[in-house]
Amino acid sequence: MKTYHSFQEVKADISHGNISCKEIVSNYLITIKEKSHLNAFLEVYEQEASQKAEEIDKKIKNGTAGKLAGMVIGLKDVLAHQDHGLQASSKILDGFISQFSATAVQKLLNEDAIIIGRLSCDEFAMGSSNENSAFGKVLNPIDESRVPGGSSGSSAVAVAADMCMTSLGSDTGGSVRQPAAFCGIIGLKPTYSRISRFGLIAYASSFDSIGVFGKNIEDVALILEIISGGDEFDSTVSQSSVPSYSNLLIQDKKPKIAFIRETIESKGLNKEIKERTITTLEWLKTEGYVVEEVDLPLLDYILPTYYILTTAEASSNLGRYDGVKYGFRSSQSDTLDKMYKKTRTEGFGKEVKRRIMLGTFVLSADYYDAYYTQAQKVRRMIKDKTDQIFSKYDFIILPTTPTTAFKFGDHSEDPVEMFLADLYTVQANVTGIPAISIPNGVSSEGLPIGLQIMAKHFDEAKLLAFSKLLIERKI
């Protein structure tokens, strides 16, 4: 059974008659069964995917197939897919069937992508390890004793373990980039509003972005190109034109690079990750790039700002899950008030309840100005400082994560330690800029190391081209 490393390889084999879409799907289904112990998929659409593949094979023969004919994709369990289960890996949405498809999902289907299944995640996308799913932990295929990252850990695992070619996840504070780093693949979070959020279960609405996982830049660029753009169902989505990202992967001039001194000098940064990051920066200098150090004194405030604001938004967004209209409803109640309380107590997991309570606290009348209002002011200061850096530089380079993939249970008892896993990724969400994690070698234990690159708003084309150059020429 051939392992494909790019969609280009798939299209070439299909065009030469070496393989059909149905055979491709069959091969992925075999791999999914062989690696089911990784616990990545909540639901596999075996019959549907096979039937869809047959239909696309006919379209290919007729010359009417879409751009993604032969592309097999997995969906994080926060993206609506009409007539399919959707529950954010939470008990509180047991039995819920989506009545419509997310705009991003529908755009994939319109181009004849094959959705092979629904992927687990940290409950309601809240977590950095994929240990918070109501359906059990997900294993990292590189080292099964370690976490795959979160919250889109399964989306990364499915691609890294060859259970699908690409996958979609969501990134609220690093939930695409951190798992990509831990699993040794590419993870892109685009500019906030580049992709419609219609059909994405909300965690924190002013931070959430749909992101893309892949093994190569070309595939990620193609998916981004297809799912981006305006949408009448999302008032926050950008109406600006979508570049042909997949055709803009050649760098036209050498960009100026900044690296944040505080990230490199952080005591919490793993020694080997620091060495690999510095090695990359030094290589760029030898290649004639301008690489300069910048200061970001607000770095220590980014993570608390992020958690104050996201938990506040989560407290509001998750208020709709009460057992009345859909999903789980507690049977241990005899009044409406008790039903609300029991349903939410039994239906939500520990981490989700922690964040709801924290968010409710910071929004309360006595603490609103002290926490929420102040955090909004700091968010603006962080954005202004980031924009100031980008007025002089094209990209900011920093580690994706402070450590490599940690072992299960290492941070489970200390929420603050778990929050620190997002230390380097939250800046892109707080400011809304695009960011990508690409592989940057491995540690002495054989664990993947990620390199993060951040760019100006809507500069995905340049970001992807630069990332491609780094992967091909250095890593």
What residues act catalytically? 76, 151, 175
Query: CA-CA distance, 430 to 299, in Å (whole number)?
Result: 12
CA 27 → CA 15, 39, 162, 403, distances in Å?
18, 18, 10, 34
Residue closest to 75 by CA, chosen among 137, 141, 158, 136: 158
| Helix ranges, 63-123 (H) | 103-110
Bridging pattern class, strands 435-442 and 448-455: antiparallel
Instruction: Report how far residue 312's alpha carbon sits from residue 196's, in angstroms, rounded to the nearest whole number.
Output: 22
CA atoms of 259 and 3, how far apart (whole Å): 37
Helix axes of 46-62 and 21-34: crossing angle, nearest 10 degrees: 160
Question: For residues 21 and 70, is the Cβ–Cβ distance under 8 A?
Answer: yes
SS3 214: strand
Peptide bond just before 133 cis, omega within 30 deg? no
DSSP state of 403: S
DSSP 180-195: HHHHTSEEEE--TTSB
CA-CA-CA-CA torsion sign (422, 423, 429, 435): negative
Name every residue whose Cβ is closer than 8 Å to that of residue 108 and which is 6 or more positions away in sequence.
68, 73, 115, 168, 223, 226, 227
Q: Under DSSP, is residue 285 helix (H, G, I), strand (E, B) or coil?
A: helix
For 71-84, b/e burial (b = at least 16 CB within 10 A) is bbbbbbbbbbbeeb
Neighbours of 233 (CB within 10 A): 12
Task: Give the strands of the sheet with 209-214, arranged side by side.
Answer: 41-44, 114-119, 72-76, 166-171, 209-214, 186-189, 435-442, 448-455, 395-399, 256-260, 290-294
414: helix, strand or coil = coil
Show the tokens assigned to 35.
């690696």
Helix (H, G, I), strand (E, B) or coil at 248: coil
CA distances from 38 to 29, 114, 181, 385, 447 (A): 14, 22, 18, 41, 17
Instruction: List Cα–Cα distances, 200 to 124, 261, 392, 414, in angstroms.
Output: 11, 35, 35, 29
